[in-house]
Amino acid sequence: MAPSIRLSPAARSLFDEPLAIAVQGLGPRQRVTLRTSLRDETGELFQASAHYQAGDDGELDLARCPALPGGSFSGLEPMGLLWALQPQKPFWRLVKRDVQSPFLLQLDVFEGHGERHGRLLAQAQHERAFLRDGVRRIPVREGRIRATLFLPPGEDTFPGIIDIHGLGGGLFEPRASLLANHGFATLALAYYQFEDLPQEPKELHLEYFEEAVNYMLQHPQVKGPGVGLLGFSKGGEVSLAMAAFLKNIKAVASLNAPVAATCIPFSYKDKIIPTVTLYEHKAKATNSKFLDYSDVIDDPFQAPGNQSRIPLEKAEARFLFMVGQDDRVVKSEYYATEVCKLLQAQGKESFQILSYPGTGHCIDPPFFPLYHTGSHPVFHKRAVLGGELRAYSRAQVHAWSQIQAFFKKYL
């Protein structure tokens, strides 16, 4: 019997879902190399490979067989061939622009463990999708709002979440689309550099974000009386500012966010939160010749930086701070710890910190490749963003389940 690859689900799975991989029809104890490949929407190639040995019966099940040393990873890692994908082009990040089309994953099985791949024994293709059947993607152009709403299947009402991305502008849909598969009405909200929104905003007006909150609460399929916010980096900072100044925000999950205004000041009605000072000269060179910018932001808990600190003690929301202990862009663990001390001093217990070792600035949904070194979001120079492959893959899975549990509980 010729070797073949068995996948479950067979042809298509959601990007954040586990994929069971097995090879059958090999010789007893046969040594093989498995390789996964995926091209992004620009055609850039991501690959991972691992060395295995089949069992006495010629079966190789990645849930039971550890990878041997010499590939992208070793040990018992059923999803290693997905989380270890790395770009062939240095410093490239896997981004999904069009969530209506899946990524195509190619799996190849080669003979032996050599430097050069041996004979090709089997191959298979599998779609990694962002939308479950029945999830609706609805472009939103209401008033000033520029966004995309993702609604789960059916006519029910669903907990409502606004998803806000970090610096870089544009409209970012992958996280919101994946959340909708799990039963949340999720609004991916753009706030600059998209269509007719400002290219280089002088201020971020919280009234714009308030309009998005009101849009969600007036939607017949969004379950009130409040909404949740999910924000990454600058988007987390925006979410914290919304919670401090706006009504009807029940729960905020913040991923590696500053707790002070950075780069762009906030304004609401007649109040302005000025930006904290950045000291570019405090960037440190690392032994990999890339810069570590983790010390460049003035400490918002020391005067004069504290005029820039977001007054979270005014907020009524529940907070989930998710921080990478190896975040080299924002001192996110320090910020979360200090801001929670302030909340505690005010008699508030409405917060939780989840701190992830070996995890850098980017905390994406499960199975997105680690983006360890890339362009700094402010200084646009090559920078270390932080993180270590295996620890990060664990953090993604845990954080994603915790985000969903948090919003289910408080929305």
Catalytic residues: 233, 327, 361
Distance CA 269, CA 247 (A): 14
Burial of 133 (0-12, 13-18, 19+ CB in 10 A): exposed
d(CA 111, CA 94) in angstroms, rounded, equals: 29
Half-sphere exposure of 69 (CA within 13 A, CB side): 0
Q: Do the beta carbons of residue 223 and residue 367 sit within 8 Å?
A: no
For the chain, the three-class secondary structure string (H helix, E strand, C coil) is CCCEEEEECCCEEECCCCCEEEEECCCCCCEEEEEEEEECCCCCEEEEEEEEECCCCCCEECCCCCEECCCCCCECCCCHHHHCCEECCCCCCCCCCCCCCCEEEEEEEEECCCCCCCCEEEEEEEEEECCCCCCEEEEEEECCEEEEEEECCCCCCEEEEEEECCCCCCCCCHHHHHHHCCCCEEEEECCCCCCCCCCCCCCEEHHHHHHHHHHHHHCCCEEEEEEEEEEECHHHHHHHHHHHHCCCEEEEEEECCCCECCCCCEEECCEEECCCCECHHHCEECCCCCEECCCCECCCCCCCHHHCECCHHHCCCEEEEEEECCCCCCCHHHHHHHHHHHHHHCCCCCEEEEEECCECCCCCCCCCCCCCEEECCCCCCEEECCECHHHHHHHHHHHHHHHHHHHHHHC
